[in-house]
Amino acid sequence: MNKPQFHIEEFFKNNKKDLSKVIELSLKVKEGIEEIDPFIHQNTSVVCPECEKVCCINRHAYYNSEDLIYIYALGLTPHKYKHLDDKEPCQFLSGNGCVLERSIRPSGCNWYFCGSLYDSMEKIPKEYTEFDETLRYLAEAWMEMIKEFRKKYREIAGDEMLVTDIVRNYTL
Ligand code: SF4
Ligand code: SF4
């Protein structure tokens, strides 16, 4: 069987027209993430430098198969990994935080908000409410994107999409 990332990439290349709704939804997700980015950054820049248990470790740096669908729908190529110790600080972490644009970080990074971060965000009620609404909208668009991809995969490939493993088991 093809490695998942190549399998998904190939499927996009060969069926771009049929996957137009998936592509449209991936753009909506990207725009939504870009919209909430300043508010998240405003809070992480205060909370994270004080953190004693930084959540950015190598284990969280990998795309899962849904992330790959999103990345290829955007017409992008997954970033390169060095396979380092899972528990060590993430290879994409710099002195100024993550070097990846938020919209292309692994979904596990983008959907995770620790208690301290939530506490900080909730102190700014108006912005927090807007952020929360956008996040819900994003989650719905993401689920719809994956559902549509699987539907098209079934229709075109005549099979269920079985790729559920994460990329870390493969050499990029
Ligand atoms: S998001 Fe939370 S757990 Fe992660 S580094 Fe910032 S304060 Fe720490
Ligand atoms: S947000 Fe960036 S630095 Fe943090 S775990 Fe994710 S990829 Fe690594």
Q: Is the pLDDT of residue 3 over 70?
A: no
CA-nearest residue for atom 5, ligand 2, is: 56
Q: Is the pLDDT of residue 163 over 80?
A: no
pLDDT at 8: 86
Q: Which two tokens stand for residue 76?
A: 């992008």
Q: How far apart are CA 95 and CA 132, in angstroms?
A: 28
Q: How far apart are CA 65 and CA 87, in angstroms?
A: 22
Asked if residue 146 has its Cβ within 6 Å of ligand 1, the reply is no
Q: Which two tokens stand for residue 4?
A: 């998942």
Q: How far apart are CA 127 and CA 21, in angstroms?
A: 30
pLDDT average, residue stretch 91-114: 96
Asked if residue 105 has its Cβ within 6 Å of ligand 2, the reply is yes
Q: How far apart are CA 48 and CA 128, in angstroms?
A: 18
Q: Please name which ligand lies nearest the alpha carbon of 56.
A: 2
- Split at pLDDT 50, 70, 90, the class of 56 is very high
Arithmetic mean of pLDDT over the chain: 90
Q: Is the pLDDT of residue 36 over 70?
A: yes
pLDDT average, residue stretch 93-115: 96
pLDDT at 4: 62
pLDDT average, residue stretch 29-38: 98
109 contacts 57 by C-beta, under 8 angstroms: no
DSSP-derived secondary structure for the chain: ---HHHHHHHHHHH-TTTTHHHHHHHHHHHHHHHHHHHHHHHHHHHHGGG-SS---BGGG----HHHHHHHHHTT--PPP-----TTSBPTTEETTEESS-GGGS-HHHHT---HHHHHHHHTSHHHHHHHHHHHHHHHHHHHHHHHHHHHHHHHHHSS-----S-GGGS--
pLDDT at 79: 87
- The bridge status of strand 97-98 relative to strand 93-94 is antiparallel
Mutate to test the pocket of ligand 2, among 33, 48, 59, 92 (most ligand atoms within 8 A of CB): 92
pLDDT at 1: 46
Q: Which residues contact 147 (CB under 8 A, 6 or more apart)?
A: none
pLDDT at 162: 56
Q: Is the pLDDT of residue 5 over 70?
A: no
